[in-house]
Amino acid sequence: MGIMQTTPSNLTHHFLIAMPHMADPRFDHSLIYLCEHSPEGAMGLVINQPSELNLSDLLDQLAPDVTAGIDVTVLNGGPVETERGFVLHDGEHNWESSVDLGPLKLTTSRDILSAMARGDGPDRVLITLGYAGWGAGQLEQELAENVWLSCPADHGILFNLPWEQRLTAAARSLGVDWSLLTSQAGHA
């Protein structure tokens, strides 16, 4: 029998909750869905920071021939490749550029946005510009320093809750009261 680990070695399909003492202002109060975590590094999407854009704005820029009155908030997914769109979704449809994450898919091609505008898109969807990335061992180091809390991702939180409620709900799934955590931050 090996030593019990407090953190699973692979946090794919987990939420990362930024602790109140997070030093990096880009991740202050952020909730991240980890799409991939391996010895080579990790990739995730911030799922609770809205951008100024919604899906209609994106379509105006990317596919001006498509008109959509869809008010889906586009989120700031992280500081890497901020001009690139990432669509996290369920469903079986294979788009031009999709990665199968197991329970969910991550699509970066424009065809999914056009399909959403026509009402042919996936049922549950989250759109970000940019992503968060970690090099080999970097996320493990940050976890060891207690910069993040982690918990298994909950699709209800991911897709059903408004963005401003996701962080509190994810913390609650761990039995943590986020408002108490933040009020105690900085007090010795």
User: Which residues lie below 8 Å from residue 9, measured CB to CB, with a gap of 6+?
Assistant: none
Q: What pLDDT score does 3 carry?
A: 40
CATH number of the structural domain spanning residue 99: 3.40.1740.10
- Are the C-beta atoms of 17 and 31 separated by less than 8 Å? yes
Judged by average pLDDT, the poorest of 69-78, 158-167, 176-185 is: 176-185
Residue 187 counted as domain residue = no
Average pLDDT estimate for 118-124: 87
Residue 122 counted as domain residue = yes
Average pLDDT estimate for 14-28: 91
Res. 32: pLDDT tops 60: yes
Residue 58 counted as domain residue = yes
Render pLDDT for 52-96 as a digit per residue (tens, 0 to 9). 988 888 777 766 666 555 678 899 999 999 999 999 999 877 799
Alpha helices in 21-161 (DSSP H): 55-62, 111-118, 138-144, 155
Average pLDDT estimate for 158-175: 94
Average pLDDT estimate for 157-182: 90
Q: What pLDDT score does 69 carry?
A: 57
Res. 6: pLDDT tops 80: no
Residue 172 counted as domain residue = yes
Res. 47: pLDDT tops 70: yes
* Summary mean pLDDT of the chain: 87
Residue 99 counted as domain residue = yes
Provide the domain count of the chain. 1
Residue 188 counted as domain residue = no
Transcribe 92-124 into DSSP letters.
S---TTEEE-SSSEEE-STHHHHHHHHT-S-SS
Find the domain containing 126 and state its range: 14-177
Q: What pLDDT score does 144 carry?
A: 93
Residue 124 counted as domain residue = yes
Chain-centre distance of CA 165, in angstroms? 14
Residue 5 counted as domain residue = no
How large a percentage of the chain has pLDDT more than 90? 63
Render pLDDT for 100-118 as a digit per residue (tens, 0 to 9). 998 899 999 989 988 888 8
